[in-house]
Chains A and B, each alone.
Chain A
Amino acid sequence: MATIVDPEDLAKKQIFLILASPAKMRQRNIELIKEISSLGYNTVVITTNFPYSVLTKLYSDSGIDPKTVSFIDTVTRNSIGSAENIPRVVRYVNNPTNLTDLGIAVTEVLQENAEKKVCILYDSISTMLIYLSSPNISKFIHFVTNKLRLMDISGVFLAAEKGLDPMFVSQLTTFVDRVIDSG
């Protein structure tokens, strides 16, 4: 079966921008986690759309071992006000616009998983457009990709394939190693 991400590229710690049609974003998310987990990676999902609790259920239903996935959740606290971090499982960020906290969370989670084979999945750049301007998103993605390269970790950024400003896409393209249009 064809994979979205080439395992060899993943092994080379490459960084990917995966474009998907808006209706298939969740499906792509699950497929990617399945693929990455099957290759022995622990996935750190940065979710800006669905809360950790729901994603865990969806992953379990899709046969993904929840132990192989940890989360940085920017949704839950923003909705219910408070939620306690669960070490090595989920770290909550109050608000997706708070890039400082998000950056700190990414750094800390990556340090926690330093001994593991880790891949980051960022879901999604498109949702971030609700909260941040494209230049600010570009800066943040630049920060995260730099961090991944310094720590020698591979990463996957999901984005809706249509509607993005070509200038914005071309800027994002410069931060990643490969752009994959998954349809």
Chain B
Amino acid sequence: MNMNPLLSFNADEKSKMFILYILTIVCIFLEIVMHFYLGVEAGYTHFFYVVLILAGIWFQRKAVILALCLATTHITIGYFVFAEALWVPILRSAMFVIVTLLVGTLSEELKQTEATVKENEARFRAIYEGSNDAIMLLNEKGFFDCNPRTLQMFGVKTKEDFCRFHPADLSPPSQPGGQESLPAAGKHIEAAFLNGSSHFEWIHRRTNGEDFPAEVLMSAFDWGKERVLQSTVRDVSERKRAEAALLAYISEMAMRLKIPVEIIRDNIQEITDLINGGKLTKEEMVIMLEGQVRNATQIAANVQEFQKAIAEKNKEIPEAYRKFLEG
């Protein structure tokens, strides 16, 4: 974004220097002809401001050097022509330096601001373009911009193609709760415009027909005179798979702990009854009790195996929990 057209002058440093060089010669020429020969004290010096302002814009406070040169020339010639009224060229020369310093300082600040703006713009663009989340902008008419990840996530070739879709077009006909996607999407968009934001889970559909679970965050903000929504869509397929695996793990774990422990309990009770009834030989007692010890040992081994398996298979498990699972 250009803050000042002059700052983005296309000429390079050398051509700027060359222009200033020519203009300075013109100034000196004016000084000699108008001041020295013709005795004109003022008027022509307005041209000096053109050179000094230009120098101030291009070279910031370094332009003061040029201002001092022109001021010295002006005072020197004034000294020879109007020796008795030297304070006038001195005052005028002081104005040269002050104006140049002012313009140079302003230009420097402007340049810094421009650099900051450019840096911020580059940073935000990098975040927008490089985000792993799909980020899209929409107004009340529909989508009008999106980042590259959006195209990748939904399998759309161009932004223009993407902007033709309604959010409901990128969803299956209905959501898991049974609600139809079109009115449900409309409600979320309306809520985001009304409340400033809306956060919800959604099943999206890629253009190849593949559905995927997503987390959607819609934030409303003013863009110029228009109220727009930034919609951030995060594909949470991996996380959902990990959750399902974790659920399956817990279910299997519960089943393979509760039932075997109950079996061991009942077996021991039964063995006790058989011993009390005098129905077991010593060898049979050993076999049966060893069997229960082996069962219990196997249960402990199963727990360890489960822990390792779940830690290896699910990348989304927090590190602390992973360490716990790995024993």
Query: Chain A: residues with CB nearer than 8 A to chain B?
Result: 22-23, 25-26, 49-51, 53-54, 57-58, 61, 75-76, 78-80, 126-127, 129-131, 133-134, 160, 163-165, 167-168
Sample (21) of A-B pairs whose CB atoms are under 8 Å apart? A26-B270, A51-B287, A51-B288, A51-B291, A53-B284, A53-B287, A54-B274, A54-B280, A54-B288, A57-B279, A75-B287, A76-B287, A79-B288, A79-B290, A80-B286, A129-B259, A133-B256, A163-B254, A163-B258, A165-B255, A167-B251
Q: Mark B281-309, 1 if CB is under 8 A from A, else 0.
A: 10110111011001100110010000000
Query: Chain B: residues with CB nearer than 8 A to chain A?
Result: 251-252, 254-256, 258-260, 262-263, 266-267, 270, 274, 279-281, 283-284, 286-288, 290-291, 294-295, 298-299, 302
Residues B259 and A54 in contact, CB atoms below 8 Å apart = no
Kindly identify which residue among A131, A167, A168 contacts B298, using a CB–CB cutoff of 8 Å: A131
Residues B291 and A22 in contact, CB atoms below 8 Å apart = no
Chain B binding surface SS class: helix
Q: A23-B266, A25-B266 are in contact. Are A165 and B251 (CB under 8 A)?
A: yes
B252 partner residues in chain A, CB cutoff 8 A: 133-134, 165
Residues B255 and A51 in contact, CB atoms below 8 Å apart = no
CA distance A146 to B280 in the complex (A): 37
Residues B263 and A126 in contact, CB atoms below 8 Å apart = yes
Residues B274 and A49 in contact, CB atoms below 8 Å apart = no
A80 partner residues in chain B, CB cutoff 8 A: 283, 286-287, 290
Kindly identify which residue among A22, A50, A53, A61 contacts B262, using a CB–CB cutoff of 8 Å: A22
CA distance A73 to B100 in the complex (A): 104
